[in-house]
Structures are given as C-alpha cells and as structure tokens.
Amino acid sequence: MDILFTNATILPMTAAGDEPRTFTGAVGVAGNRIALVTASGSEADAFRTCSPGVRVIDCTGRLLMPGLVNTHCHAAMTLQRSYADDIALMEWLNDYIWPFEARQTADDVALGMTLGIVEMLLGGVTSFVDMYYHENRCVEVARRLGIRAMLGCNYFDNNVDEVLPEAEKAVALAADCDRIQIALAPHSPYTVSPENLRRGKELARKWGLHFMTHIAETRDEVRIVREKYAATPVEHLDALGMLDDKTIGAHCIHVTDSDIRTLARRGVAVSHNPQSNMKISSGVAPVEKMRAAGALVTIGTDGTCSNNDLDMFEELRTAAFLQKSATGDPVALPAYETLKLATVNGARAMGYAEGELGVIRPGALADLIVVDLQKPHLQPIHDLVSNLVYCGKASDVDTVMVDGCIVVENRRVAGVDLPKLYADVAAAVERITGR
C-alpha cells in the first residue's frame, strides 16, 4: 500500500549551510522508497490521485523525519538491564557480565534481542548495529519485527572456532532480506589475538561484510595493547590491516591525534557512546577533534547493562552537552550536527550510499518516524531542531516506518504481545540468575 504523510513539519536532514532545516508539506511512499517530498498541496493531491488505495496519514502538529540509527549496541543485553550497576569495569565484566552470558542459551539471546528491538522501535530507532552472540538466531527476530539491522557476530580467542561457523550460517539466513546485514565482530584488540583478528577480517572481506570492534575504550585497554604490541590500539589494528571504510570502531575514547588522523584517513566509522562511557567512567571521546579531522562520527547506545537503556534521544542530548562541557566551548557539537550523527552519518557507517538512508528525499529508503510535538517539553518552538535534540524523548515517537512498512503506530509495535514478552523475559532472567 502506498502511504502519504500530509500536513507534516518535515525535517529532511538534507539542508546545507543556512538553508531552512524544516518545511511544512507531504511525503509520499511507494513500495519501500520515498516517491514524493513536497511543500505543494497540488503535488500531494496528484500523488493521491495516481495511487489508488493510498493510505493518508495526517501529521498535523507532528514532525516527520528520518529514523534514528544506533551504530553500537548489544541489544540482547536487555536481560541484564540494571543487573550489575555501580561496579568497576573489570569486576563488572569478570564477576557479573561474562558469567551471566555463559548461562544464557541461544533462545535467551533471541528473547533479549526481541525486547531490545521493541524498545528501539518505540524510541524511533529504525536501524541498529549490534554486536553479540548467536546473531544467527537474531536474524529471524529482526526480520519478524521489521527493523533494519547489522548483526555483528562477536568473538574472543576462546570461542572464535564456534562463532565463525555461526557467522557463515547467519550470512545465509539473511541473504534474502535486504534489511539485514551480518558483520564480523571481534571483541577488542586486547581480548583477541592478531591471528584471530585477521581471520575475522579475511572472512569479512570474502563475504563482503562489515567488521566492528571496541577500540580504545579504557585506559587499561590502551596499557595492555601497548605492553603487548608497543602500539596504541589504533596503531595495532592499522598495522594488521583491520581499518578501512567497512570498519566500525566503538568508543575510541583514548586516542591520540595521530590515531584520529588514521581513523579519518582509513574511513573508519566511530560510534560514540556517551552515556555508557560516563556510567563506566571510561572517559570522554574527543568527538570535536575527530569531526575536525574529517572522521565519520556516529552515535550508539552500547548495551543496556552499561547505559541502561536504548534511548537514542537521550544519547543525542548527552553527546552534545558532554562535548560542550569537555571542550569548554558552548558552540561545540551544535544540535543539527548532533542529529546528523544519528541519521546521515549512521547510514553511511552501515554502508548505505549518500542520500539512500537517513534522509527524506525522493528515491531514499522509506525509514521514517513521526514525532508528536504536542508535548509540554517541546513547546514553544523557537528552534525545532534544538527542541528535538535538547528536549526530545523516546516517548514522543508516535509512528515508525521501516522499509516502507509501518511497524509502530500509536505507540503499538506490530505483532508484539508486550505482557507476554515481559513475562517471558522475567522467567528467563529468573532461571539464569537462579533466583
């Protein structure tokens, strides 16, 4: 069914320089692509006339914009939400997170992924980049719920021989769904050997996949890599041939000026996770330095055990405020540039061509969200983009479209029985923790 959004305040994310950021008009969707973007009432009427059976959605008082792109998360870790808080990182990993994960089954991971995707869809996330285990099982979940996803098969030295065959199976399972990509995802340069990093990258190149890993997240990581390889994590990965425009590096907090130039030169997409970094006390990523150097910076939430949610609106606000605070410059990372990190830049990080995703323009993929502006915290509107970035909330999202299909309407996720999902999650957690 063709769909026509009318009477909308449209934020297309295509404005340059001093061009207006928004306008009032209509957007028509045919199949999985945007067919019409117009401020003309007559053009909207013509689309309606030429599309028998078109569904019209009146967006009076609402904003229509591209869906948000979360470039780094561990969605199935919703099962560990608030499980291990206020604990130092290494104790957190060794005594809580990894033992919990060792007791999880593939079914548990699929269940946690379901909860995570539902949370993201309700918050306006239409695309996400994941990094976890049993991603072959998560292909079906992402397909069923209608979200766009890049599922990174995470491995360490001790499970690489188990994960790589799973990754191959995931590639086959996702082959017939354009919305779903598979990626290779070694945990980090301090937990995965050079040999196994190369194995993952070689397979990624063989299958045409993206490659992702945590980079320079903590000072301990930098110290360990220096002691082992006499290099920074970025230098080490670059020497191994890991860095290129199909690489996503999560965090990139403790990077040198030389590292930043390397990331920019290689075309690596950096996923900035401000709230997770703050909570674990990892540090503040030099986002403004990276942007100035020409690096592709995006935004991710990280997992719900270190955040503790998948709310990208909170990440936008935090990213902007944190850079202003860290640099002492109130002009750092302005609202519109912040929003680009979670739309246009996120789409590029996932490998989409310029203008294909993360924007509202004819021919682009129809991944759209409708935000209800009739909220006390969004009024008055002096600057709509500022309101969205500095005041917006996940709960403001009313309707979500992915690939031309409406997957959330009136804050209801299509095909999901929420009470049953919550009960299943509670039962799984009770079994895993032995409570």
Instruction: Name residue 71's amino acid.
Output: T
Question: Encoding tokens for residue 179?
Answer: 């919305």
**Domains of the chain and any CATH numbers:** 1-64+358-411 (2.30.40.10), 66-348 (3.20.20.140)
- CA 66 from chain centre, in angstroms, equals 13
| Contact (Cβ atoms closer than 8 angstroms) between residue 193 and residue 160 | no
142 pLDDT higher than 80: yes
| Structural contact between residues 160 and 196, judged by C-beta atoms closer than 8 angstroms | yes
DSSP track, 176-232: T-TTEEEEEEE--TTTS-HHHHHHHHHHHHHHT-EEEEEES-SHHHHHHHHHHHSS-
Question: Cα–Cα–Cα angle for 61, 387, 380, nearest 5°?
Answer: 60
Query: What pLDDT, in 10s, does the model give residues 383-411?
Result: 999 999 999 999 999 999 999 999 999 99
At 112, which helix (H) or strand (E)?
A: helix 106-122
Q: How far is CA 74 from the centre of its chain?
A: 10
Task: Please state the rounded mean pLDDT for residues 227-252.
Answer: 98
Give the Cα separation of 52 and 56 in Å (integer). Answer: 11
Question: For residues 335 and 101, what is the distance between their CA atoms, to the nearest angstrom?
Answer: 37
**53 class by beta-carbon count within 10 Å (0-12 exposed, 13-18 middle, 19+ buried):** exposed
What is the per-residue pLDDT for 85?
Answer: 92
pLDDT digits (tens, 9 = 90+) for 42-69: 999 999 999 989 999 999 999 999 999 9
Q: Minimal CA–CA distance to 179: which of 413, 310, 357?
A: 357
CA–CA gap between residue 224 and residue 252 (Å, rounded) = 15
Burial class (CB in 10 A: 0-12, 13-18, 19+), 91: exposed
- Residue 250's φ and ψ, nearest 5 degrees, are -85, 135
Provide mean pLDDT across the span 424-435.
94
Ordered alpha helix ranges (H), 308-366: 312-327, 335-341, 344-349
In the chain, what is the straight-line distance between the N-terminal and C-terminal CA atoms, in Å? 48
What's the CA gap between 36 and 26, in Å, rounded?
8
Q: Which among 312, 239, 238, 235 is positioned nearest to 271, based on CA atoms?
A: 312
CA distance 119 to 122: 5
pLDDT digits (tens, 9 = 90+) for 71-95: 999 999 999 999 989 987 778 888 9
Q: What is the mean pLDDT of residues 179-204?
A: 98
370 pLDDT higher than 90? yes
Q: What is the mean pLDDT of residues 4-10?
A: 98
Asked if 367 and 64 touch (Cβ cutoff 8 Å), the reply is no
Q: Is residue 390 a contact partner of residue 379, using CB atoms and an 8 Å limit?
A: no
Predicted confidence (pLDDT) per residue in 322-348, tens digit: 999 999 999 999 999 999 999 999 999
Token pair in block for residue 271: 């996923």
pLDDT reading at 152 higher than 90: yes
With beta carbons less than 8 A apart as the criterion, state whether 370 and 6 touch: no
Pinpoint the alpha helices (H) of 267-364: 274-279, 287-293, 312-327, 335-341, 344-349
Residue with tokens 């919550």: 422
Average pLDDT over residues 4-29: 97
Cα angle 124, 352, 141 (rounded to 5 degrees) comes to 50
pLDDT reported for residue 89: 75
Separation of alpha carbons 47 and 4, rounded Å: 8
